[in-house]
């Protein structure tokens, strides 16, 4: 403190550049072009959740991510500006405790995603889009630990093929990144309609649960493809060429608004198949 009772700082700051020191803060969401100028040590020693939405100044935002990486358990990176040009990160970043990662704008973020080391990542949330060239490399890097996959945006057969590399997935969720995210999902008919994709390719062979959350919809005609999917992963499950069988589906839950729900007879048949299996 100085003679006037003001807190002394090692260096001056402008109001627009000030980033608070909050050592007990656990959840932080930043929206829009915030001016983030973190110091050389983390201002958030106990931060568990960080969400960067559309789109804080990235060089400073990434520096913040690097500083809080040791404590983070949940991270959302939403940068959907195709014109954003980012410099490649200079080093790898270890996230020893990160279990949840949400990504919007994989194309522009890919160099930084490839620099992330996440040995405990178990839940990946993706807004489906045209895959960047190195998408397969990123998925291979997290495939051994990811057991839950949330898809948002427009979800069709391309999404199923794209994420087939995540062969440890046990839970598939159609939803959104977080409560404050307004984007709704749409599940297209093509996602479930190809039996060959679900059986011959052994897409997500450990899949046991599918959940349609309330913030989205199933495209007209899609409900007719869900029953064959449920059958081929329950009562009609088949042995694959290598002698193994995919896991049986144990849950197919619809949390949609009443006006968007499939017909009651279909819901009843889905439950009957699950109970039979």
The string of pLDDT tens digits covering residues 85-101 is: 666 777 899 999 999 99
Q: Inform me whether the pLDDT recorded for 17 exceeds 50.
A: no
**Integer CA distances (angstroms), 50 to 17, 44, 83, 256, 263, in order:** 19, 10, 24, 28, 39
Q: Quote the percentage of the chain above a pLDDT of 70.
A: 75
Q: Quote the percentage of the chain above a pLDDT of 90.
A: 32
The confidence band for 109, taking pLDDT boundaries of 50, 70 and 90, is: confident
- State both tokens at 170: 């046990």
In this prediction, residues 192-202 reach a mean pLDDT of 66
**Integer CA distances (angstroms), 220 to 187, 188, 217, in order:** 9, 8, 9
For residue 14, what is the enclosing H or E element?
none
How does DSSP classify residue 5? S
Look over the chain and give the mean of its residue pLDDT values, rounded to a whole number.
81
The confidence band for 267, taking pLDDT boundaries of 50, 70 and 90, is: very high
- State both tokens at 259: 């006006």
- Write down the pLDDT at residue 82: 55
Give the Cβ contact number of residue 52 at 10 Å: 24
The string of pLDDT tens digits covering residues 134-160 is: 888 999 999 999 999 999 888 888 888
Q: Inform me whether the pLDDT recorded for 274 exceeds 50.
A: yes
Strand 123-127 versus strand 154-155 pairing type: unpaired
For the chain, domain boundaries: 122-276
Q: Inform me whether the pLDDT recorded for 125 exceeds 70.
A: yes
Gyration radius of the chain over CA positions: 22
Concatenate the DSSP letters of all residues of 247-276 into one string. PPP-EEEE---GGGSPPHHHHHHHHHHHHH
Residue 88's Cβ-side half-sphere holds a number of Cα atoms within 13 Å equal to 6
The string of pLDDT tens digits covering residues 31-42 is: 766 556 556 666
């Amino acid at each position: 403190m100085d003679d006037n009772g003001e807190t002394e700082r090692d260096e001056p700051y402008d109001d627009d550049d000030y980033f608070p020191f909050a050592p007990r803060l656990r959840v932080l969401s930043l929206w829009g072009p915030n001016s983030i100028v973190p110091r050389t040590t983390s201002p958030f020693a106990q931060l568990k959740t960080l969400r960067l939405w559309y789109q804080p100044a990235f060089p400073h935002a990434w520096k913040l991510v690097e500083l809080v990486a040791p404590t983070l358990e949940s991270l959302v990176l939403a940068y959907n500006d195709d014109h954003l040009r980012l410099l490649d990160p200079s080093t790898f970043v270890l996230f020893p405790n990160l279990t949840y990662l949400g990504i919007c704008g994989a194309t522009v973020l890919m160099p930084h995603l490839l620099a992330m080391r996440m040995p405990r990542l178990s839940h990946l949330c993706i807004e489906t889009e045209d895959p960047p060239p190195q998408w397969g490399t990123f998925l291979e890097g997290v495939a051994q630990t990811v057991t839950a996959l949330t898809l948002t945006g427009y979800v069709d057969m391309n999404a199923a093929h794209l994420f087939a590399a995540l062969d440890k997935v046990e839970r598939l969720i159609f939803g959104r990144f977080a409560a404050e995210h307004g984007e709704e999902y749409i599940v297209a008919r093509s996602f479930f309609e190809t039996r060959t994709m679900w059986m011959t390719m052994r897409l997500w062979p450990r899949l046991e649960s599918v959940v349609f959350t309330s913030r989205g919809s199933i495209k007209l005609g899609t409900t007719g493809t869900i029953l064959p999917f449920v059958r081929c992963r329950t009562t009609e499950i088949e042995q694959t060429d290598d002698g193994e069988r995919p896991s049986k589906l144990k849950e197919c839950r619809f949390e949609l608004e009443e006006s968007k729900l499939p017909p009651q007879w279909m819901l009843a048949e889905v439950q009957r198949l699950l109970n039979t299996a």
